[in-house]
């Protein structure tokens, strides 16, 4: 037996079963609808969006014509509009009902199709045969049934497109062409033509098309989106580079090592796809209820209608009215609205605070979280280097050293250069002009300032280190603190040491404290080195740190925590975080991060404020409570009114009650939906105060 990846139903793995081959595996589906949604989730989402755009204005017009106007001509127009709603937007439910019948199963689509068709068909017959049918039409009920339930389905389908969209953005990051060098001659080629061993040339500002080894030239590489390393890293001949990384400042020749699906970025993509597809199918409360509720309602309607028509000697017209009353009252508007109404209101309330929930299951997942696993670079930290320390040497002042460094770094686009400039401007220092500035890729920069040769360089190898002595001690001290180090030389003599580091986001410490107060544990997982990670963890008051993790390592850590029974939210911003975001019980993406991360995450913090994490979890619990109370009302409503619709009150009221039962059923259904919406709207006035204990 296989599990349908869309609806979670069990499917026999037979050759004649509905199946689709993708990602080197075969998926089995319970219906054509599920297969189509899986094959192209984006197209399925857009199709539902178009249907909703048609359904809502027409359904509202039907209600106005029925109740505000009420004339026969208005009812005729309402019938025409309801027909469009019934058979264009409503076609989705007819297809689902057809699949349910073919599969000999019960689902909400079947009950929605029967209920809306009963209301529509009876109303059409009453309109066309006014003398032979009891008065009363219910076109508004049929149109609203289709429109409201279709809106809930649309919210679900928006989640379906997430994995495919994230993978598409990952592919967009990789270059489509490469420059191959043969016999010293450059030739542009499609990246699919590159083979291991080919020599490729990558210019400053370009991205590496494959994983490879540098054979000629030196440069500085920004790998932050792929590896989690926040600071640019120097790469020299013999060192590895990865596809998608940005070449900052040097012309290099790279020997291709891993190409196509073997590259690091492609492996991240596979991890993302596997995590998305291995997730346990969502628990669909409405469908679980439908498995029992739908056949019971249909059976009750038929039994009541036949019973009163034949055994009760009331005739076929009365029997039909009883059947219609049962189905209209039971038609699951309240069930269908219970989740989307609360989700829409709760999500809107969260959006006002800069928290976006992606998919109708995100809030329910957030309500159960008891551990937050967070990335460091660009998540806890700003994701860009800042000058953290200036250690002057030889009696020089910090201002002198910083001014000299800023003079030759001025105008450079290198991240460390911008950090030096920003620090100098923040101190309002006078920056002397520089001339003859020359960049040595992967090493540093030099130039002439006021007649002196000024250099800003990374530490040199020990064999030729000009920075021994006090400068070396200062550099070692800064490195021990997790800082990236650069030396400032004047005419060959070290005059200062600069320490760079990523900086903690404002409010990060407070966010961690708020989670701790709520009983939620915070754990850091990063690709950065242990020293840098520990420094940020101390600053953010995080006790549990896991450093130097690959994307696969982060995913393994996350799954080990889940195996231990923890419900884990992962907070990240980079491509390297996408697999963990997809596999977590809740993925929370920083809004300033990459589009891949935001597509993989179920929650996006627009303001990049970690306080949004605690806010999201608090608000989620309140919203889920509303969903549960909505379902409780829907169940209670049906338990009370279904026996009435079946004729329980007739012995005391007489046969005349049959004529008003369908009208009463439509009003009761409308009241049920109104109460569900009103209950959900109360979320608008929920204040974000002290959090309650995490949901079990």
Same domain, 6 and 107: no
The top-scoring range by mean pLDDT among 263-267, 444-448, 526-530 is 444-448
For the whole prediction, is pTM greater than 0.85? Answer: no
The stretch 416-426 carries a mean pLDDT of: 88
296-314 confidence digits (pLDDT tens): 878 888 888 888 778 776 6
Per the domain annotation, does 403 fall within a domain?
yes
Same domain, 255 and 398: no
Q: State residue 670's pLDDT score.
A: 59
CA-CA distance, 151 to 643, in Å (whole number)? 29
Q: State residue 403's pLDDT score.
A: 93
Per the domain annotation, does 191 fall within a domain?
yes
Taking the CB of residue 288, how many other CB atoms lie within 10 A of it? 10
Same domain, 112 and 221: no
Per the domain annotation, does 275 fall within a domain?
no
Q: State residue 8's pLDDT score.
A: 47
Residue 59 is encoded by which pair of tokens?
A: 């359904």
Per the domain annotation, does 100 fall within a domain?
yes
Same domain, 8 and 50: no
Query: With the C-alpha atoms ordered 196, 200, 205, 206, is the resulting torsion angle positive or negative?
Result: negative
Same domain, 376 and 518: yes
Beta pairing, strands 568-572 & 586-590: parallel
The residue from 589, 616, 643 where one domain ends is 616
Per the domain annotation, does 16 fall within a domain?
yes
CA–CA distances in Å: residue 272 to residues 151, 168, 335, 558, 577 = 28, 12, 33, 13, 9
Q: Which of 308 and 35 is assigned the larger pLDDT?
A: 308
299 exposed, middle or buried (CB, 10 Å; 0-12, 13-18, 19+)? exposed
Q: Look up the domain containing 207 and give its range.
A: 175-262
φ/ψ region of 450 (left if φ > 0, alpha if ψ in -120 to 50, else beta) reads: left
Q: Which of 284 and 563 is assigned the larger pLDDT?
A: 563
Q: State residue 280's pLDDT score.
A: 32
Domains contained in the chain, number: 5
Residue ranges in 498-649 assigned as alpha helix (H): 508-517, 530-540, 551-563, 578-583, 595-600, 611-645
The residue from 435, 470, 504 where one domain ends is 504
616-626 confidence digits (pLDDT tens): 888 888 778 88
* Active-site residue identified among 375, 518, 585, 609: 375
Q: Is 274 a catalytic residue?
A: no
Same domain, 600 and 524: yes
Q: Report DSSP state, residue 541.
A: T
Per the domain annotation, does 30 fall within a domain?
yes
172-218 confidence digits (pLDDT tens): 667 889 999 998 899 999 998 999 999 999 999 899 999 999 999 99
The stretch 97-120 carries a mean pLDDT of: 77
375-398 confidence digits (pLDDT tens): 887 778 877 788 889 999 988 999
Per-residue confidence band for 568, with pLDDT thresholds at 50, 70 and 90: very high
The stretch 102-118 carries a mean pLDDT of: 75
Same domain, 151 and 62: yes
Same domain, 536 and 596: yes
Which residues lie closer than 8 Å to 464 by C-beta, 6 or more apart? none
Where residue 370 sits, what CATH number does that domain have? 3.40.50.1000
Same domain, 106 and 130: yes
Which range, of 5-19, 215-229, 511-525, 555-569, averages the lowest pLDDT? Answer: 5-19
């Amino acid at each position: 037996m296989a599990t349908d990846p869309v609806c979670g139903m069990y499917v026999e793995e037979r050759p004649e079963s509905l199946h689709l081959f993708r990602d080197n595996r075969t998926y089995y589906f319970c219906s054509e609808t599920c297969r189509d949604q899986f094959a192209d989730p984006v197209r399925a989402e857009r199709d539902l969006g178009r249907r909703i755009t048609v359904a809502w204005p027409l359904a509202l017009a039907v209600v106005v014509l029925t109740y505000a106007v009420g004339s026969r001509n208005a009812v005729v127009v309402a019938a025409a509009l309801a027909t469009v709603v019934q058979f264009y937007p409503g076609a989705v439910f007819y297809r689902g009902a057809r699949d349910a019948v073919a599969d000999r199963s019960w689902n909400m689509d079947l009950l929605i199709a029967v209920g809306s068709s009963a209301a529509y068909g009876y109303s059409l017959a009453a309109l066309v045969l006014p003398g032979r049918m009891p008065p009363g039409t219910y076109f508004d009920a049929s149109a609203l049934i289709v429109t409201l339930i279709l809106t809930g389905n649309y919210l679900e389908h928006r989640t379906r497109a997430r994995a495919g969209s994230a993978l598409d953005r990952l592919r967009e990051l990789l270059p489509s062409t490469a420059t191959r060098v043969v016999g010293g001659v450059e030739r542009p080629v499609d990246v699919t033509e590159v083979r291991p061993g080919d020599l490729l040339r990558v210019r400053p500002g370009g991205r590496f098309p494959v994983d490879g080894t540098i054979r000629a030239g030196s440069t500085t590489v920004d790998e932050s989106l792929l590896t989690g390393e926040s600071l640019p890293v120097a790469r020299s001949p013999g060192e590895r580079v990865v596809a998608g990384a940005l070449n900052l400042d040097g012309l290099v020749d790279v020997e291709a090592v891993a190409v196509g699906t073997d590259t690091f970025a492609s492996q991240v993509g596979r991890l993302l796809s596997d995590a998305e597809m291995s997730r346990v199918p969502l628990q669909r409360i409405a469908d679980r209820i439908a498995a029992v509720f739908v056949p019971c309602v249909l059976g009750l309607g038929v039994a009541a209608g036949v019973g009163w028509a034949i055994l009760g000697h009331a005739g076929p017209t009365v029997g039909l009215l009883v059947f219609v009353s049962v189905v209209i009252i039971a038609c699951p508007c309240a069930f269908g609205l219970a989740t989307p109404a609360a989700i829409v209101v709760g999500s809107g309330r969260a959006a006002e605070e800069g928290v976006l929930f992606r998919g109708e299951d995100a809030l329910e997942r957030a309500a159960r979280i008891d551990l937050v696993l967070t990335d460091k670079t660009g998540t806890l930290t700003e994701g860009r280097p800042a000058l953290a320390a200036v250690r002057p040497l030889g009696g020089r002042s910090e201002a002198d050293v910083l001014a000299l460094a800023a003079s030759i770094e001025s105008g450079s686009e290198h991240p460390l250069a911008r950090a030096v400039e920003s620090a100098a401007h923040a101190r309002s220092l006078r920056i002397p002009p520089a001339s003859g500035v020359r960049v040595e890729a992967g090493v540093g920069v030099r130039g002439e300032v006021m007649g002196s040769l000024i250099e800003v360089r990374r530490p040199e190898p020990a064999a030729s280190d000009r920075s021994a002595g006090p400068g070396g001690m200062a550099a070692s001290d800064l490195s021990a603190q997790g800082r990236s180090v650069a030396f400032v030389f004047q005419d060959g003599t070290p005059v200062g040491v600069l320490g760079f580091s990523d900086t903690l986001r404002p409010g990060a410490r407070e966010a961690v404290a708020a989670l701790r107060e709520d009983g939620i544990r915070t754990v850091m997982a990063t690709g950065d080195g242990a020293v840098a990670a520990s420094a940020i963890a101390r600053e953010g008051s995080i006790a549990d740190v896991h450093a130097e993790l690959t994307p696969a390592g982060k995913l393994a850590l996350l799954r080990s925590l889940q195996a231990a029974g923890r419900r884990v939210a992962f907070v990240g911003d980079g491509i390297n975080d996408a697999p963990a975001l997809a596999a977590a019980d809740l993925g929370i993406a920083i809004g300033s991060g990459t589009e891949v991360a935001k597509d993989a995450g179920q929650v996006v913090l627009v303001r990049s404020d970690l306080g949004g994490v605690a806010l999201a979890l608090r608000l989620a619990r309140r919203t889920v409570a509303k969903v549960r109370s909505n379902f409780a009302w829907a169940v209670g409503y049906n338990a009370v009114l279904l026996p009435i619709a079946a004729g329980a009150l007739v012995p005391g009221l007489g046969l005349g009650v049959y004529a008003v039962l369908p009208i009463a059923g439509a009003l009761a259904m409308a009241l049920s939906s109104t109460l569900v919406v009103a209950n959900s709207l109360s979320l608008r006035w929920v204040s974000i105060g002290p959090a309650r204990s995490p949901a079990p």
